[in-house]
Structure 1
Amino acid sequence: MADASSVEVYAENALGQQVVLTDQIFPDPSSTGVDVFADNGTAILTRLQAWQRASIWK
C-alpha cells in the first residue's frame, strides 16, 4: 500500500514466513514506477498484486 509519503509491503517466502515492511518515502514528483531489488542477496518475485486506493481527501 502506498500514499504520498508511505509504503507498506507484505511478503512471504517459500517456507511460509511472512514479513511486513513499512517506510516513509519522499519520491520525486515525476516518479511513476516501482522497483524490486534485494540488498546483499537474491530474491525472486513470483507474484505481485497491487490495488489503487481511493483518496480519503475528497
Structure 2
Amino acid sequence: MDASSVEVYAENAQGQQVVLTDQIFPDPSSTGVDVFAENGTATLTGMRAWQLASIWK
C-alpha cells in the first residue's frame, strides 16, 4: 500500500488464489487497516506488511 494504491493477495474457500489491486484516497489522518467482507464472510488468518522506502530521496 502506498499513498493511493493497495494490493491484496488471498486464497478463497476453494483454495483458489485471488488478487485485488485498487486505487484509494484515504483521509490523511488514517493510519489503520480494516478487513471486511461484503455479502459473505471472511477470516483473516495472517497478514504481512512491509514499509517501502520513498523514491523521492
- What TM-score do you get using the length of structure 1 for normalisation? 0.89
Structure 2: give runs of 5+ residues left out of the alignment.
none
Identity value in percent = 86
Q: Which amino acid aligns with 2:40?
A: G
Matched, 1:17 2:27: no
Deviation at 1:57, TM superposition (A): 1.3
* Number of residue-to-residue matches in the alignment: 57
Aligned to 1:52: 51
Deviation at 1:13, TM superposition (A): 2.9
Aligned to 1:31: 30
Q: Deviations over 1:7-58 (max 9, x none)?
A: 1111113543101101110000000000000000000111111111111111
Aligned to 2:4: 5
Detail structure 1 runs of 4+ shifted over 4 Å in the superposition. none
Would the alpha carbon gap of residues 14 and 40 (structure 1) be closer, same or farther in structure 2, given more than 3 Å must change?
closer
RMSD across aligned C-alpha pairs, in angstroms? Answer: 1.1
Structure 1: give runs of 5+ residues left out of the alignment.
none
For the residue of structure 2 that corresponds to 1:21, the secondary structure is strand
